Amino acid sequence: MYSVVIPVYNAGGCLGRCVESWLGQTEGDLELILVDDGSEDESPALCDAFAERDRRVRVIHQANAGVSAARNAGIKAARGMYLLFTDSDDYVASDLLEKLGQCMQETGADLVLCGFHHLYDGADIPKLPGKSRVFTLKEGGEDFLCLYEQGFLNMPWNKLYRRERAGRFDTSLSLGEDLLFNLDYLERCEKAAVLSEPLCFYIQEEQKTTLSSEKRKDRLELARRICRETEVFYDRHWSEGREAGHRRIFTRYMNEVMDECGKLPADRGLTTGEKLRAVRAMAEDPWVRERGDEAVYRHADYRILWCFLRRRMVVCVYVLCVLRRAVVQMVHQVRRMR
């Protein structure tokens, strides 16, 4: 049986779509565990209504403790041999369970991951993890780095796990807890499989939340921790190519820095002066100063941003981010029109 854990917090407007996508699976041997994490809208009643309608649905009501705590509660309650996660505002293809389960059974893998549809402001951007393949952890250093670079290890919702090998999410973190969960799980794996099909639908709207300077600093500190722990994980399993591996892992950290810069133009909670100070803080970040040249900037916009960021040309960095956001919005507008 498959156990699907769905954290629910004020998800009244989208929960139905998510739940229906699971109840309509071509593989019907599943339990759906809805963890109501102290919702203040109609979500608790909706969860209970789904449980009354379909005996495969189970509901846990708890005080608000965050998504990691909700997932941990779902893991503890799960009864199935296999484990999956979904966020309540996303949904999945009707044959996801069938295809992931078949892949795990045929390959003997301990972990199966697939691609997904990134639905960004109405545009559908398919994200694929390269060709379908199977690799052992012992010999999979290059596969690990490729998946890490593409961000396919950063989330739990496009993966099939063996429940008995799953650990727990770190509830003390607000960034990177999903990656650390996956690294911890990989420690218990011998073989992993990649399925090059987009079977999940991940929905992302234009950034609406704002970050204070302190929270932005905390995010970079957490990103440094995640980077260090990933480098340690890599060294523990693949001693050869350590320098090149660290360079590729560190590139993800620099991508976090670039992404934070790129979000500033859309942040309506900050004045222009505050945004410029935020860029300066990132330019003066210790790791940016010490290791920034290690990163491999594959995209032209990041290479250009780095040229100015390393010279602390704060205004130029911000202007480039404004122009970059305008271009990205145009591209998504074109995609929506197709």
Predicted TM-score (pTM) of the model is 0.90
Is there a contact between 285 and 253 (Cβ–Cβ < 8 Å)?
no
Q: Average pLDDT, whole number, for the chain? A: 92
Cα–Cα–Cα angle for 202, 212, 178, nearest 5°?
A: 35
d(CA 130, CA 282): 32
Q: All domains of the chain, ordered by start, with CATH?
A: 2-204 (3.90.550.10), 213-337 (no CATH)
Is there a contact between 160 and 100 (Cβ–Cβ < 8 Å)?
yes
Give residue-wise pLDDT tens across range 64-85. Answer: 999 999 999 999 999 999 999 9
Residue environment code for 36-56, b if the CB has 16+ CB neighbours within 10 A, otherwise e: bbbbeeebbebbeebeeeeeb
Cα–Cα–Cα angle for 302, 306, 307, nearest 5°?
A: 120
Nearest CA-CA partner of 245 in 225, 258, 230? 230
Give residue-wise pLDDT tens across range 51-65. Answer: 999 999 999 999 999
pLDDT band at 215 (very low <50, low <70, confident <90, very high): low
Give residue-wise pLDDT tens across range 254-304. Answer: 998 998 999 899 888 899 999 999 999 999 999 999 999 999 998 898 999
Strand-pairing partners, residue 117, are 126, 201
Kindly give, in sequence order, each residue whose CB lies less than 8 Å from that of residue 101, ignoring residues fewer than 6 positions away. 2, 27, 82, 160
d(CA 36, CA 59): 7
